[in-house]
Amino acid sequence: MTIFIQSSKSFATVEVAFFQVKDEHGKIYSSEPGGQFYHSAVKTDMGWVEVHVYYGVHVATDNIYQRKEFTLSLINNELPGITESQVKEWLGKPFDYTFNWSTQNSSYCSKLVANLLDPNILPLPFQSSEYVYPSGKRIKYSDTVGLSPDDLYKILLEEKNFKHFKTQSEELSKNAKSKIKKKKK
């Protein structure tokens, strides 16, 4: 006798993007000492979902590959796709200025991505007691644990079987070729 078990979740390509900002001297701005990223977003059927300081959790309306801060993305073809209902649970929630891992009333980028991908991804101790924005504004963490974009990047590569997918230089090259083709027409 053969028994078939049908999963309610389909498998899809899950993509996570990471962003980097440099100051006028080329120094990388990061959310943690020695880090390389300041932001992350996840691609869903609804589009790229991210947390913005002003807009909170939203679906990005731009092509994030074309943002100058886009650095690279990772993919995994072995995870269940992120459902619309999962995204809707978070949409509209404000940015969490205190980076509190345990609250479900607000979020920050890497916490949102981790929760959408796998609620069992655990927070790590913060390497600093405050978050420093590119503007220089400082915010004290309200919690001693959380996930920075660098923590998330490392977890996805080392524990969740993600692979490198796109880089900024690939996207810049593709955009340049596209512009050349348009000029020739």
Residue 31 is predicted with a pLDDT of: 76
Token pair recorded at residue 108: 């920050």
Rounded to an integer, what distance in angstroms lies between the CA atom of residue 76 and that of residue 152?
14
Residue 127 is predicted with a pLDDT of: 82
Token pair recorded at residue 109: 């980028």
List the pLDDT tens digit at each of the 185 positions of the chain: 334 433 444 567 899 999 998 888 888 888 788 889 999 999 998 999 999 999 999 999 998 999 989 999 999 998 888 999 999 999 999 999 888 999 999 999 999 999 999 989 999 998 877 777 777 777 777 778 999 999 999 999 999 999 999 887 665 555 544 544 544 45
Domains of the chain: 11-174 (3.90.1720)
Residue 166 is predicted with a pLDDT of: 87
Which letter does DSSP use for residue 115 in this model? Answer: H
Cβ atoms 159, 43 nearer than 8 A: no
Rounded to two decimals, the pTM is 0.83
Residue 169 is predicted with a pLDDT of: 65
